[in-house]
Structure formats: C-alpha cells, structure tokens
Amino acid sequence: MNATFSLRRAASHNSPVDSSDLCRWPYTHQGPRALPETLPGGRSWPKISIVTPSFNQGRYIEETILSVLNQNYPNVEHLIIDGGSKDTTPEVLAKYRERVAYLVSEPDKGQSHAINKGMARATGDILTWLNSDDMLAPGALAAIALAFATNPQADIISGICCLYESGKITGRHLTACQDGPLPLDELLDLDGAWLVGQFFYQPEVFFSRSLWERAGGRVDDGLYYSMDYDLWVRFAEAGGKLHAIGRPLAWYRVHPDQKTYVSSNYARELRACRDGHLARLGRPVPSQRRQPDFGHKLKVAVINDIGGRHGAGIAHWRIAEGLRQAGHDIAWAHFGGRHTSRGTGVSDSVALVRWLNDVTPDLAIVGNLHGADTEPLLVSTIVEICPTICVLHDFWLLTGRCAYTAGCTKFRTGCDHSCPTATEYPPLEPDRIAEAWRVKRPFACFMISGC
C-alpha cells in the first residue's frame, strides 16, 4: 500500500481537530516525502504489518491512523481491529476504510483478542501492534526497515519512545538492554529491571515474523494489562536477539483514560504473570539486586571541523542527536569561530581546550578535523582531557595527510614527502607529512588490522 497523505486531504475530511494542528505531525508530513525505490543494495523494502486494536478511542484514533499513512513507507499493511466502538470511532474509521489493508468493527474479547485477530491476518515480514491512542514517530517505518536490513541477526528492533501528554512530548525512553539475546533473567526481575525502565514501552518494539512464530504466534488473550510483558518473556525463551536504535519510533500517549495510567491497576496481574513463568521454569523469585541508575546522563562533547554540514558533518550531527534524544547532555564545538544553532565555534586548538575544560565532559566524540587549521596532535590533547571516541568518516586519522588513499598503502609503513596526492585536499606541506603520520600513529594502530 502506498501510504501517502496530503494536508489538503486531511482538511477535506472535516477533522474535529483545531486547524492549527493540521500543520503538525501526524496531520502533515515531516521530513522527506519520498523514499528511494529500494533499500541500499537494491533489496525491496520489507512489508511491515501493524495491527491496531481499537475500542472507544475516537478522540485519538485518527492521529494513530495518520501516523501510519504519513510515514510515506511503500510497503506497509495496517490492520484495524475495532471491538464495536460506540463513540465517534466508527465515523473516523469510515473516512479511512479504503486506505487501510483491513478493517473490522465487531464485538471481541478485548485488546489481546483483537491483537491476535489482526496478527492472524497479517502478512508482513516485520510485525508490531500500535494501540489506538498511540502514534508512530515520523520516519519510524523506514528506520525500522533499515535497522533490520543492516542488522540481519536481530529479531527485535527497539528505539526511542516519546511520551506524549497534553499535546507535547514530555519525556523519552530508550531501553537500557545491550544488543544481543533478550535477557530472560532480567525480564523476570520485575523490581530490579522491568519496573525501573530497563526494557520497553510496547509501541517502540518491532519484531520479525520468525520470532513471533517461534514464540507461539499469539499474545495471551487471558491477560488484560501484561500481554506485552508475557510476549517479551517468550521472545527471550525463543532466543530473540535485540538491536536498539537511537531514534524515535513511537509517541506513547499519556492520558487518564489509558489502562496503565495508574500503576496499581496492572501491578497485581504483572506479578502473577511473572510468577507463573517462574513456576513453569522452576526458578525462584530473583533476589533483590542493586538497581542500576537508569537515569544517569552523560555529558558528551562532540567535536569536528566544520559543524553539521556536508556528508561527514551531517553524520556526526546525527550521532549527537541520537545521544541527545536518548537523554544525554550534548555540547558541540567546531572550528572556524562561527557559532551556529548546532554548536559553539572555536577559533583554534587553544580555544577548543579552553572550551573542553569549561564543559568538563564525561566523553568526547571526535569526527573530521582535517577541514580545520589545526595539528594532528590535537587528538592526543583531547584524549588527555577525557575519554575519547574517534569516528572515522574517512582515512585522515590513519594517514599522514590524505582523507582517501586512492589505493596507496604507504599509511601502513610511513607516509612522507613522496605522497602521490600531496597537492590535493586536505593540504599539507610535503615536508610535514611524515611528522603528521608519526603523531597519528598511536591512534591508527588501534584501527589497522595487523598493527
């Protein structure tokens, strides 16, 4: 299904929202209007199936539907399973009946039953459910497809879930789990992991059809609150492997009418569900462990030559933005002395060191520096101030001068004045190339195979 949607069409439906809302997500696009025809490498975009269980959420469901339509994702299957709503939901569903893959409105046995009904009809390679009061974040489906394509070992992709309350984003959540097998022991430790936010808000999670089927191909329709927790436990037992990405995937709506708004409503069922798994597995209740400080934030200094411009600058900015959206404090510096909305301009190496001492970061992430009029030794100076990660957007940190070696292998044994591209960008006098290579060598040896 080609999920395109125009602002004009949104307005033509006589939506009950305020007209000013039509300029924001999900009523209008945010970001590029068209994706490339294929994934990088030529593969087709995988089909993503989204099941929306619905019952009497007429205030919100139009935004849920539009957040899927306005993804501009070329291969999405949206299935809406309504339990026979008596509010304004039928009117909203009537508007979009021809623009979703499947829609039914009839009495059912509740949310879990509706999810199973939808999943039984879903044909996608990637699956999730999106409740009728939540929304996908802009660009979520393309990000999910790319994450699965570039991490073929992953069965589960999670990302940032934005908490959306009273018309604005009030918080963000990102799992604290490491990439790799979903940790069953930690899932079963409610007080030390689940209840302190280590895992997921449900709409930030997408999973493969293979894992869904290995874990039984259904949610427990006897559960009213904890069907997602129960499914993650079964995913862990089935060997599901997680990969987390640092970008928003969902907007989780916080409002007084949602089932889990009051924690005491679901706590009893959650513990009973967990205890049932412990009994089935023959395990004791996990002992109380020291709770990690999931609220700890890093102060990260992001440094490059020309800021967030051009390919490497944009890539470096995206790294910083991902960390910021994960809740960390970001300070950015670039050379040239010109302040921008994305960072502080510094005039030279001395000014950068002064800036670093003022920021007192926990970590520095250094990108391209060859566009700045500075010395290679600057990297070692930054390392002395704080732990440092160097992001190789090109080969400059490994060579005496060049950003791209054009097949030359002198950087392995020693760049010098005979550099075959000495007159090309980035410039450096030939008699300085050997010394620049020597200064960079301690860093390069960590990065070159065989050193």
Q: Are residues 49 and 196 in the same domain?
A: yes
Examine the fold and report which residue of 349, 374, 393 is the final residue of a domain before the chain moves on. 393
Question: Is residue 292 assigned to a domain?
Answer: no
Q: Are strands 329-335 and 180-181 parallel, antiparallel or unpaired?
A: unpaired
192 compared with 55, residue with greater pLDDT: 55
287: in domain: no
Residues 237, 94, single domain; the answer is yes
Q: Within a domain: residue 289?
A: no
Beta bridge partners of 250: 136, 161
**pLDDT at 195 (0 to 100):** 86
CB atoms within 10 A of CB 3: 19
Tell me the pLDDT band of 260, cut-offs 50, 70 and 90.
low
Number of continuous H segments (helices) and E segments (strands) in the chain: 14, 15
Distances (CA, A) of 69 to 113, 122, 164: 24, 17, 19
Question: Does 230 share its domain with 308?
Answer: no
Q: Are residues 415 and 366 in the same domain?
A: no
My answer on whether 334 and 419 are in the same domain is no
Helix (H) or strand (E) holding 64: helix 61-69
Q: How many domains does the chain have?
A: 3
Region 225-253: mean pLDDT is 95
Average pLDDT over residues 133-137: 95
For residue 349, the number of C-alpha atoms closer than 13 Å in the C-beta half-sphere is 12
Lowest mean pLDDT among 143-152, 203-212, 321-330: 321-330
Q: Are residues 345 and 410 in the same domain?
A: no
- CATH number of the domain encompassing residue 59: 3.90.550.10
**Three-state secondary structure call for residue 170:** strand
Is 111 part of any domain? yes
User: Do 110 and 12 reside in the same domain of the chain?
Assistant: yes
- The answer to whether position 438 is within a domain reads yes
Q: Are residues 201 and 308 in the same domain?
A: no
Same domain, 368 and 403: no
Which amino acid, one-letter code, is at 317?
Answer: W
Domain assignment of residue 171, yes or no: yes
Range(s) of the domain holding residue 26: 7-281
Sign of torsion over alpha carbons 221, 226, 232, 234:
negative
In terms of domains, do 235 and 161 share one?
yes
Residue 424 has pLDDT above 70, yes or no: yes
Q: What is the pTM of this model?
A: 0.72
pLDDT at 230 over 80: yes
Structure confidence by residue, pLDDT tens digits, 32-45:
678 899 998 899 99
CATH number at residue 365: 3.40.50.2000
Residues 268 and 371 in one domain: no
Residue 332 lies in a domain: yes
pLDDT of 19 over the 60 cut = no
Are residue 343 and residue 415 in the same domain, yes or no?
no
Boundary-marking domain end, from 221, 251, 281: 281
Q: Is 286 part of a structural domain of the chain? A: no
- Percent residues over pLDDT 70 in the chain: 87
Distance (Å, rounded) from C-alpha 427 to C-alpha 402? 8
